[in-house]
Structure 1
Amino acid sequence: MPNHMSHVEKPSFMWHLRSWEEMKATSRFTLANYMNVILLIVFLYVAIRQARSKQQAAAKTGHDRRYIKAPDFPPVEEQPGFDWKTTEPLQSRPFKPKYHLTMALENLEPSELLVIDKTYEDRIAYRRRIMAEHGKHVINVHDDQRIRPAVVELYQFLLGTYLPLRFPTLFKLHETEYEQGKTFMLENLATKALFPAKATAQISTEWLLETLGRTVDEDFLFLLPEEDSEDPKYVLEAYVTVCPSGFDPAEKIGKRLAAIHKPVPGYSAKLEGSMDRFFSKVEVGKYVKRVNWSITTNTELYAAAAGTTHAHEGDMVEELDHIDVDKTFVRSERQTLHRLPKSKALVFAFHTYLYPIKQIKEEGGGEELAAAIDGLKLGNVPQMHFYKRGAVWGEAVKKYLRS
């Protein structure tokens, strides 16, 4: 009986020992599993972080490829929701009761260098036609060796950086592969035109100017100081000017500011000195603007011929008895000036607007404009009334505005 009991208890004791060992083994197995799970979680976490980091890097690379970096220029404020098709043209009414010939400059935000509105497609089509018809009177280069770096600099900034950032719904930059390597092309989403965003040695300066003229509704004049002069004056070295007003740009190329403005009454006495000083001191990164106005009795933006928008001393003019309201406009230029950071050339640009005289009257500005026409004779240069051809249209326009 005792032997039997001991025999029975022994297996029971041994069973408890095996259970404990199994429990320890199970614990080790469970702990190992826990460690594996933890390692797996850590691995997955790291993998996800790396994947997200790569995605963000790829997205940033893709984002950056929307434009070419231009660290020498001021940053461009983006307009992701810009709708050029519904954007109205700027409305400028710079009428004063007395006209004083001054520079009248205002500071300009660099991002606002160019303006685009719903007339863009029609105006670009007009610009293409005028450039094809008038050649050197619209696009010209004086000293190519000196001015080419400036034209290239502005061209690459506008097509590679400014336009795809400022107007992303109208211009898109594409990175492409050619035999010579990677390059960038700017697509005009309105006209479907495609132009290189970077200039190569094979592309002429005239072609770059033409492309600027076919891409933005803006006229550009490039000026550099004279060489080998103790008191250098700025000279017009290149231009794309589709909307000249009363002057032929081809007659101005290679000339100083004073010679360019010689026909303007009062320029030498009132503006020449201050203009020369200001042009010589314009700093990189400083952008300025001004607005002018006159009256025109035809609908053409290209007005380079004599007698179109200006009259000069000795010209024979005939006063109008009445005006064709549908062909009479306030012609206004939004003018800008800035210095390029590398070439140090000055870029004078202007965007021309035609405001129907009927619109001015209907919006209630008739008397203000009529007073401003009288004011052309009352300022510091009374001859400005004749220069702007007020002797031709002045009385007829005032009569209409006050009727």
Structure 2
Amino acid sequence: MQLPAEPFPWPFDGPAYRMVMGLRTLAPADWLSPDAGWLGQLARRAGLLRQRKWDVLALMPEAKAAAEELLELLFQQLATQHSSWFQRQGAGLFSAIGGAVMQPADFDHPLHLLGHLLPDDLCLLTPSAGGWRLTGGVVCFPSHWLLPHKLGKPLPGIHRPVPGYDATLAVPVDRFFDNLNPGRIVWRANWGLSDDADLFQPGGPRPPPADGPVTGENAAQRLFLRVEKQTLRKLPRSGAVLFTIRTHQRALAVLTPEQQAHFAAILRSVPDDVARYKGLDRTGPLALAALG
């Protein structure tokens, strides 16, 4: 049985940039659905979990029960909703995609196993007196951040670099987390413009690209619209919120003419502070030159 093509969720729902949560309901059958992009992403994740384990994996003691609950939930979800690809085998789960049985006893903790099972990054946020805190995660494909730098922080601290977050989204996001009903799944899209095909983008200085700088002539092939499909789901026993991030990217050259025109309009409407935060002050003019 062949995996379906990797989707590319279009992140824009209007003619100009807007800073909104943009949440939509997601059916359980459409959550964490296997596609052809899983194979390459799982291979990259396995390498990162070997080579940079403590940069991409963490679990604080207060999230241990939530992580165990999450493992049970995802084993059940995959075996029920995607039974062609996943089957329970004792305490483990057989993945036809990976060709192996994933046994909890073979890994440090549930998030370590899930980092090898799914291409999605996973974050656990648990309630505390100081608000919802990031207390565990496996994040192999960050967009200019690293998990250890965010671990233990509440939502406003996690999002502090984001222009306008405190004024526009901090209160609605906290309220949404408080009121999210277990079993309901919602999703949103986040986007960026990358000049590196590697999905692991921790930020900080990078060596010059081996194939030379991005220019107006090669920008269509060397710049990528990077889209994160983010989902939120509350775990019923622990009350923790699971935040998942599946990252997709496409070179500007392979976008349809309609998508290219839409993205160009978005780039032209992004406020200066957001452009600086997203690095668009550097890559945006090259993208616009390529998009026409």
Is the TM value for this pair above 0.5?
yes
Larger radius of gyration: 1
1:151 aligns with 2:70: no
1:170 aligns with 2:60: no
Query: For residue 207 of structure 1, what is the aligned residue in structure 2?
Result: 109
Q: Which has the higher strand share?
A: 2
- Percentage of pairs with the same residue: 25
Q: Supply the AA of the counterpart residue of 1:149.
A: A
**Partners of 1:339 and 1:133 in 2: CA distance:** 31
**Partners of 2:81 and 2:251 in 1: CA distance:** 29
1:371 aligns with 2:289: no
Residues 107-126 of structure 1: pairs in structure 2 closer than 5 A = 107-126=25-44
Q: Which has the higher helix share?
A: 1
Query: For residue 199 of structure 2, what is the aligned residue in structure 1?
Result: 301
Residues 43-192 of structure 1: pairs in structure 2 closer than 5 A = 83=1, 85-95=2-12, 96-142=14-60, 144=61, 146-159=62-75, 161-174=76-89, 183-192=90-99
Query: For residue 284 of structure 2, what is the aligned residue in structure 1?
Result: 394
Instruction: Kindly provide the CA deviation profile for residues 356-396 of structure 1, in whole angstroms up to 9, marking residues without a partner as x.
Output: 21111x4442211111101112xxxx411111111101111
Q: Is the 8 A contact 1:385 1:391 kept in 2?
A: yes
Q: Supply the AA of the counterpart residue of 2:63.
A: I
**Partners of 1:249 and 1:114 in 2: CA distance:** 21
* TM-score normalised per structure 1: 0.67
Q: Is the 8 A contact 2:63 2:135 kept in 1?
A: yes
Superposition CA RMSD, Å: 2.0
**Partners of 2:120 and 2:3 in 1: CA distance:** 19
- The one of 184, 189, 193 equivalent to 2:100 is 193
Please report how far the alpha carbon of residue 280 of structure 1 lies from its aligned counterpart in structure 2 after TM superposition: 1.2
Q: Which runs of 5+ in 1 are unaligned?
A: 1-82, 175-182, 309-318
Q: Is the 8 A contact 2:33 2:82 kept in 1?
A: no
Q: Is the 8 A contact 2:28 2:81 kept in 1?
A: no
Q: Is the 8 A contact 1:332 1:354 kept in 2?
A: yes
**Partners of 1:339 and 1:366 in 2: CA distance:** 36
Q: Is the 8 A contact 2:121 2:139 kept in 1?
A: yes
Please report how far the alpha carbon of residue 91 of structure 1 lies from its aligned counterpart in structure 2 after TM superposition: 2.1
Moved over 4 A (4+): none
Please report how far the alpha carbon of residue 330 of structure 1 lies from its aligned counterpart in structure 2 after TM superposition: 0.4
Q: Is the 8 A contact 2:195 2:214 kept in 1?
A: no
Q: Supply the AA of the counterpart residue of 2:146.
A: D
Query: For residue 242 of structure 1, what is the aligned residue in structure 2?
Result: 140
* TM-score normalised per structure 2: 0.91
Q: Which moved more, 1:330-339 or 1:276-285?
A: 276-285
SS of the residue 2:283 aligns to: helix
Q: Which runs of 5+ in 2 are unaligned?
A: 207-212
Could you say if the C-alpha distance between residues 102 and 364 of structure 1 is closer, same or farther in structure 2, counting changes exceeding 3 Å? Answer: closer
Query: For residue 123 of structure 2, what is the aligned residue in structure 1?
Result: 221
